[in-house]
């Protein structure tokens, strides 16, 4: 019994030392490494839930009641701070189920300030929300945005059962995928 726990401690120390060495080598080689955990910065008495990560791993969106109102917050993993999102969270409205485009420019989410929820898109560059489902009938849930920000998939209950729809925002949407990655994404099988 004593040998087993001693062996576990030794393995744990070996893994910890290996990870520390990898971190030192990564810093020495000049590669920027995003933090792997954010729990220490997020330690609060409020509940944080429904996490969504941008495609490049830079931003983390989540639902929280930190500001006294249930809403969506955006955390910058490089700067290690919450990003301000003017006009996204409104008084007397609930925002939830966030989804991020590749660099986090576009955030799609469910909002409800009346009887029926809507799917909104928030453009961080314009700092402006836009209702995407104003002319749709029925209920919505689980929106998801494509990496480039053009397509939004979601579940709709318009026909009395949950169906999946994909909305095309059109070819004129400013892509959120950097040019150097766009060609690789289009050519992949």
What is the predicted pLDDT for the residue at 54? 97
pLDDT score recorded for residue 90: 87
- Give the pLDDT confidence score for residue 58 in this predicted structure: 97
Cα–Cα distance measured from residue 37 to residue 60, given in angstroms and rounded to the nearest whole number: 11
> Quick one: pLDDT at residue 120?
97
The pLDDT tens digits along the chain (189 residues) read 444 444 433 443 343 333 333 333 333 334 455 555 555 556 667 789 999 999 999 999 999 988 777 899 999 999 999 999 999 998 888 899 999 999 999 999 999 987 789 999 999 999 999 999 998 888 999 999 999 999 999 999 988 899 999 999 999 999 999 877 766 655 655
Q: How many separate helices (H) and strands (E) can be counted in the chain?
A: 3, 11
Model-level pTM? Answer: 0.75
Residue 10, beta-bridge partner list:
none
Distances from the Cα of 20 to the Cαs of 3, 15, 28, 96, 98, in angstroms?
25, 9, 12, 37, 33
Distances (CA, A) of 14 to 4, 10, 36, 74: 15, 6, 19, 35
The CB density around residue 149, as the number of other CB atoms within 10 Å, is 23
Which H, E and C letters describe 100-154, residue by residue? Answer: ECCCCCEEEEEEECCCCCEEEEEECCCCEEEECCCCCCCCEEEEEECCCCCEEEE
Cα 119 to Cα 152: distance, rounded to the nearest angstrom: 10
């Amino acid at each position: 019994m004593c040998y087993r726990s001693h062996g576990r401690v030794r393995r744990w120390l070996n893994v910890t030392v290996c990870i520390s060495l990898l971190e030192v080598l990564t810093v020495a080689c000049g590669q920027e490494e995003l933090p792997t955990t954010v729990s220490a910065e997020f330690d609060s008495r409020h509940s944080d839930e429904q996490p969504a990560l941008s495609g490049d791993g830079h931003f983390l969106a989540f639902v929280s009641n930190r500001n006294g109102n249930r809403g969506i917050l955006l955390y910058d993993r490089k700067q290690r701070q919450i990003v301000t999102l003017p006009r996204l969270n409104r008084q007397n409205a609930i925002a939830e189920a966030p989804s991020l485009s590749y660099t986090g420019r576009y955030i799609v989410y469910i909002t409800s300030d009346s009887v029926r929820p809507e799917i909104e898109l928030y453009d961080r560059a314009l700092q402006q929300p836009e209702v995407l489902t104003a002319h749709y009938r029925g209920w919505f849930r689980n929106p998801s945005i494509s990496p480039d920000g053009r397509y939004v998939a979601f579940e709709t209950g318009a026909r009395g059962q949950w169906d999946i729809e994909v909305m095309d925002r059109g070819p004129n949407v400013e892509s959120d995928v950097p040019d150097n990655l766009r060609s690789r994404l289009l050519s992949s099988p």
